[in-house]
Amino acid sequence: MGIEDQATVEEPTEPPLCGQTNAPNKHLPAATKQEDRRQHHRLQSDTSRSLVDNRHPKPNPDLVNPDDEWTARAHILQVAQLAERARTDLEDGLAQAEAARRLEQDGPNKVEGAQGLSVWKIFMRQISNSLTIVLLITMVLSFAIDDYIEGGVICAVIVLNIVVGLIQDYRAEQTIMSLYALSAPTCKVIRDGQLDTIKAEELVVGDLVSLNVGDIVPADLRLVNGLNLSTDEALLTGESLPVSKHPERTLDRADVPLGDRNNMVYSASTVTRGRGTGIVTATAMATEVGKIAQLLRSTSGKSSDQTPLGLLFSRLKQAVKSILGLDGTPLQTKLSKFALLLFGLAILLAVIVFSVSKWDIDDEVLIYGICVGVAVIPESLIAVLTITMAVGTKAMASGNVIVRKLSALEAVGGVTNICSDKTGTLTQGKMITRKVWLRDGSLAVVEGSTNPVDPGSGSVVWASKDRNDEKKASMDGIHPKAALSSLAESFLHCISLCNNATVSDGKPSASDLDLVETSTTSTVPTPEWTAVGEPTEIALEVFAMRFNMGKQAVTISEGTRLLAEFPFDSSCKRMSVVYGKPGASAATVFTKGAVEVVLPLLDASEADKAMCAAQAEVLAAEGLRVLCIASKTVPLTQTLTEKREAAESKLTLLGLAGLYDPPRIETADAVRKCQRAGIQVHMLTGDHIKTATAIAHEVGILNRDMSTAEAAVAIMPASAFDILSDADIDSMERLPLVIARCSPSTKVRVVEAMHRRGAFCVMTGDGVNDSPALKKSDVGIAMGLGGSDVAKEAADMVLTDDNFASIVKAVEEGRRLFDNIQKVSEHAVNGSIYQFIANTNIPQFLLHLLVSNIAQVVLLLIGLAFKDTENDSAFPLSPLEILWVNLITSSFLALGLGLEEAQPDIMLRPPHDLRVGVFTREIIMDKMAYGFFMGALCLASFTSVAYGVGPRSFRSGSLAGNLGGGCNSGWNGSCDAVFRARATTYATLSFLLLATAWEVKHLTRSLFNMHPEIYKGPFSVFRTVWRNRFLFWAVAAGFVITFPVVYLPVVNRAVFKHESITWEWGVVVGCLVVYIALIEIWKAGKRRFGVGRVAKVEADV
């Protein structure tokens, strides 16, 4: 039945053996070394009965075989055997000199991979992309032909690109390293018989380490002794509940799974209760954590079957792909491929230039060929893209997401599936007593609690058996205890006294009574509430404190004291305490534990037991962890306090407590937002399937109206999923939405299955065991608060609040960036060849930067037909004009578009199809149209000035016009017309780019009615352009800076090779008006015929 299934997981439903050995020690002053030493001896004496033959083994070097892998078999060795092999003493530990020798021999206890920042690697990351390599080649060619101005400008662009990316990535890595610093850097070790605190990295194999509540285990240890010791191994094994340890046990098999080695504790796990001592069996990369870290750093196992030559070829191929940037995220790969295609196109254009000149390549022809090549390359693309992503990174940081790699910022915007852990991500990661059922049929439900450790958060609704008599335990100052029945009081007595958790609000001078009175008279939760102990016990204590019946309040008010305690044990799964008043002849036994364990101990009829079991099934079906609460009052005898069987017999049932880890308040809304955005949310959890299903229903991952057949596919235990072959998984209509009891290998298989379906997935994780899945997923997101260092190292992003809603914010920010990339690219590409653009699949971000590039290519290629008096081609634009437009005018406009706010429907659209690419057919058509308009108008402006005035005009069969001679290299008396035509063309190109920046803010809406839901009327265009302040001032600056470039003496003729203009401004303004009109007509046609994604979305709305 459901309760029995639930009990198969080790439930930490019982408290520590005694309060004195548990969490309160964390709040005591630090003990002296002598006091700690005495505590250590007492601890050993408590457990020495089971280890009598193991206490003082004498190190025997003859028994130590260097080749014996005893460290991997420590769990099957007796403690005495282990001490002999480790050459250590169970009381005095290692000698300091021996420890120093071993440290020198084995090295520090550090997991490699999180040891510091590598500026060199970050630097190499910046230059490992095709566009930077293309720019480097262009720079070298420019210097080779003594064109130092152009080469110097390109060199400055390369340096800017590298510096911007280097600074951003370095800051991100610094932030991650600060998270690593949260790991415990020290530990307590016994050497030469003295307890001392040392750095964890100084531990060596054979050291004797002392553990207490709250300690992070610094290495892999074989326990020598322990008192009620439990550790949280979720980061390593995925088990969400603390695991009880038994140092006295010796396992009989070497292949026992890590989670079942209950005489071992492992590095990176945390002590949740009790204390103990252990011998270090492995440090650094030899620990289980280190093995996983090593696995992450190693290459794929696929190469193991290759021949040496094949392996060499594979590595060479991978190195080339890495250098060219062809192994990154979709945007990185597309940019790299696009840069290579641009480089090929530049070479092709140069060949065309050389062919037109009949391969008579002098300096002028060579300069012109390079000029055409430069025109097709967006030199500022990397800098603009990096800065835009850096702004997005800052926005994400304010939303509690640290971006380790800029590439992850664009990648997260295209995800189709999110695979999330449950505990601490979808939920709060803390237990709360959700429901209480009493044997008289009454039921208590906790509602509206937002802080699991605050007794004053939320309210409690009591309902009688017939549910008609409801009353609310309000927090308005009326003491809730006055309204409780005697049965309810007995229930609260039991859960508070059979408990060792400590809950306080940070006011050590206040009593428990004062604390609760304060909480019940305030409507504002106290943020200082803290709790120490087992999550289950904390939840029960908080529930009791809601009625002023916490442990301290009860013991003080009733004068009762603890007489005996029978601790939780994994074999019996229950805990009992015996309380009595001084001098009294009677005592009360309080017991709590798993339902199927406590039921046989009840003094009740079979009908009553069946009713209790049925109610437990109801609570379990709601995803609650169910505990049975019972007690009895009997005469005080010595047997009662010494024998567990006597204390736990003929108990009286009080009721049931249903506990669960509540979802975060914002989770359900975040899941709904994902579903509206076409993103499937999957829950991959190590928890019980009923608990996972209930939470999935509550947060909206599962539909409550789901049929049985649908539920069978959507909900699956990992054991059922793991036995499926890849073919079976691929044949499923869709992957499960909830997978319970999930192992690390299960997560990896889910990611691989998604990839085979062409999905783009996010995987979240916190444990070391999650690292392979984080690495394999498209975007790995680690938990910053509860995550391991190895998980953070493997992840692309880190959540600083461990909140699922922050992932959704990251997706939204990624989509905003993607939209803005499209707008920016819209401004830059117009006029390209359809097939060329279609094959590159470049995003729209490039198009803004490439609009001018494509227009320039069209202009310069056709410009080959413009022959001067020396029969050389005249340049419609000079090389410096091209660089100026690409680097100065376009760059700031592109950056302004990158800062555009998100569109209102950004999370209402489905994810873009990465197989199609972000450059859709609609975008391609837009770019072709805009580019044709811009290129044609630039040609018109050049020809109207060059041929429309002067002593000569068009002559039949010739295009000599007024182009003079030798005007490409500098000014002479015959160059007036061509220099004025260049200035006009430059001004036209600049102004058209300024207009494009505002036009591409929306793909279909008119510039004059872009926000009809906000701004109306003929002057709405002014509000539209003012909405993005940065873009507004970028346009204004681009407009103003055009004039000094045209008119500044010497600079205009000597540098830009153009001349001041007068009446030609009429041509510029005319071209601008025609360009805006053409774009508005184009957009109107799209709206009229419903062309494009945005138009269709608006039509649906």
Handedness of CA 54, 60, 61, 65 (dihedral sign): negative
Say if 146 falls within a structural domain.
no
Same domain, 899 and 1045: yes
My answer on whether 499 and 630 are in the same domain is yes
Q: What is the DSSP letter of 593?
A: E
Shared-domain flag, residues 692 and 655: no
d(C-alpha 652, C-alpha 742), whole Å: 38
Can you give the residue range of the structural domain that contains 534? 432-660
Q: Are residues 441 and 571 in the same domain?
A: yes
Calculate the dihedral angle through the C-alpha atoms of 357, 363, 367, 368, rounding to the nearest 10 degrees. -20
- Domain of 931, CATH number, reads 1.20.1110.10
Q: Are residues 408 and 442 in the same domain?
A: no
Domain boundary among 802, 834, 858: 802
β-partners of residue 547 are none
The dihedrals phi and psi of 391, each to the nearest 5 degrees, come to -65, -40
Amino acid at 342: L
| Cα torsion through 519, 523, 528, 531, rounded to 10 | 50
The answer as to whether 148 is a domain residue is: no
- Side by side, which strands form the sheet with 574-580? 470-473, 459-463, 443-447, 432-438, 652-660, 625-635, 586-594, 574-580, 561-566
**Structural domain contains residue 516:** yes
Whole-structure pTM value: 0.64
Alpha-carbon torsion (840, 845, 848, 849), positive or negative? negative
Domain CATH code at residue 669: 3.40.50.1000
Active site amino acids? 421
Kind of pairing between the strands at 208-211 and 220-232: unpaired
Q: Left (φ > 0), alpha (ψ -120 to 50) or beta: where does 780 sit? A: beta
The whole-angstrom separation of Cα 387 and Cα 402 is 16
Residue that is last in its domain, among 292, 311, 339: 292
- Measured CA to CA, the distance from residue 399 to residue 810 in angstroms comes to 8
**Cα–Cα distance, 611 to 728 (Å, whole number):** 42
Q: What is the CATH number of the domain that holds 35?
A: 2.70.150.10
* CATH at residue 632: 3.40.1110.10
What residues have CB less than 8 Å from 167, skipping those under 6 apart? none
Contact 919, 843 (CB under 8 A): yes
Give me the half-sphere count of Cα atoms (radius 13 Å) on the Cβ side of residue 951: 3
Q: Answer yes or no: do 784 and 820 share one domain.
A: no
- Residues 411, 444, single domain; the answer is no
Beta carbons of 395 and 177 less than 8 angstroms apart: no
Give yes or no: residues 206 and 95 share one domain.
yes
State whether 391 and 413 are in the same domain.
Answer: no
Please name the residue ranges forming H helices in 970-1028. 976-999, 1020-1027
Whole-number pLDDT of residue 957: 42
d(CA 2, CA 887): 67
- Does 261 reside within a domain? yes
Same domain, 855 and 904: yes
869 plus 837 within the same structural domain: yes
Could you give the number of structural domains in the chain? Answer: 4
Residue 2 is assigned to a structural domain of this protein? no
Last residue of a domain, one of 780, 802, 824: 802
Residue 919 lies in a domain: yes
Does 674 lie in the same domain as 706? Answer: yes
- 276 sits in which H/E element: strand 270-282
Provide block-wise average pLDDT over 10 residues at a time, the chain (1101 residues): 35 34 33 41 39 39 45 86 90 93 90 61 70 77 75 79 73 58 71 90 93 87 88 72 84 82 88 88 87 61 55 67 60 67 77 76 70 68 70 81 77 88 83 93 87 86 62 42 81 94 70 41 55 88 92 89 83 87 90 92 93 92 90 87 87 94 88 92 86 89 85 89 93 92 86 91 80 86 76 83 87 81 53 31 47 70 76 79 80 79 74 59 75 87 79 43 74 86 93 88 81 74 85 92 92 87 94 94 86 51 39
To which residue do tokens 């009598």 refer? 52
Helix axes 330-356, 130-144, angle to 10 degrees: 30
Residue 1003: strand, helix, or coil: coil
In a domain, residue 56? The reply is yes
Residues 6+ apart with CB under 8 A from 37: 193, 194, 195
Dist CA 943 CA 941 (whole Å): 6
Is residue 230 included in any domain, yes or no? yes
DSSP one-letter string for 914-968 = TTT-SS-HHHHHHHHHHHHHHHHHHHHHHHHHHHHSSS---BTTB--TT--SSTT
What size, in residues, is the chain?
1101
